[in-house]
Amino acid sequence: MHGAIVSSFKRYLDTALGEDIWRHAVEDAGLKGKTYMPVSIYPDEEMEALLRAAEQASGLRRDDLLGDFGEWVIAPLMQLYKAMIPQDCDATTFLVNLQQTHERILKLKDPEAHAPGITVKRCGAGLLEIRYASTRNMGAMIPGAVKGIASWFHEEVALLASEPGQGGQSTYVFRVSSGEMTSKQAG
């Protein structure tokens, strides 16, 4: 797992839940004394152990923890990779191109790296379908991350449906609309 995610997870826990949670989590995960840098790559097992330990230490369910982290992490990632991310698009275009963005960032560290298995397609006016399939079982980040992206581009998003699949796969349908349009429609 990319250090940008693991180190952000620490910052998220410190900021949102208090520094004790990370301290307990690294201890319980058997990783006491380990530090995480945004520019390194770490074994997936460490992220998984940290997630499980953070779940225990915070009392939060995995899906809630990942969803909240997904929303929190977008702004720092957008800042960190500013130079590599199209800024002059809208949330839908950004999300439809997510695969390329993930790939560009991951290949910076490792040319052999593959983007997480997330496919995003338009499925009607203002509707987006996102399918997640990864052995990392971190799909619960998606509703939060999409919310974070909508807010970055000053747009609105609503989760219309979610369906779990087998082996950690999941499918989500969102409605994305610009804030302007929503207030016009409301008026």
Binding site for ligand HEM (CB under 6 A): 1-2, 4-5, 74, 77-78, 81, 98, 101-102, 105-106, 116, 118, 130, 134, 136, 138, 141-142, 145-146, 149
- Give the nearer residue to ligand HEM in terms of CB position, either 25 or 128: 128
- Give the nearer residue to ligand HEM in terms of CB position, either 16 or 38: 38
The minimum distance between CB 130 and ligand HEM, in angstroms, equals: 6
Which residue(s) pair with 120 in the sheet? 130
- Give the nearer residue to ligand HEM in terms of CB position, either 62 or 136: 136
The minimum distance between CB 181 and ligand HEM, in angstroms, equals: 21
The minimum distance between CB 6 and ligand HEM, in angstroms, equals: 8
The minimum distance between CB 80 and ligand HEM, in angstroms, equals: 7
The minimum distance between CB 117 and ligand HEM, in angstroms, equals: 7
- Give the nearer residue to ligand HEM in terms of CB position, either 24 or 136: 136
- Give the nearer residue to ligand HEM in terms of CB position, either 17 or 66: 66
Q: Which residues contact 109 (CB under 8 A, 6 or more apart)?
A: 2, 39, 40, 41
Burial (CB < 10 A; 0-12, 13-18, 19+), residue 110, is exposed
As a whole number of angstroms, the distance between CA 55 and CA 163 comes to 23
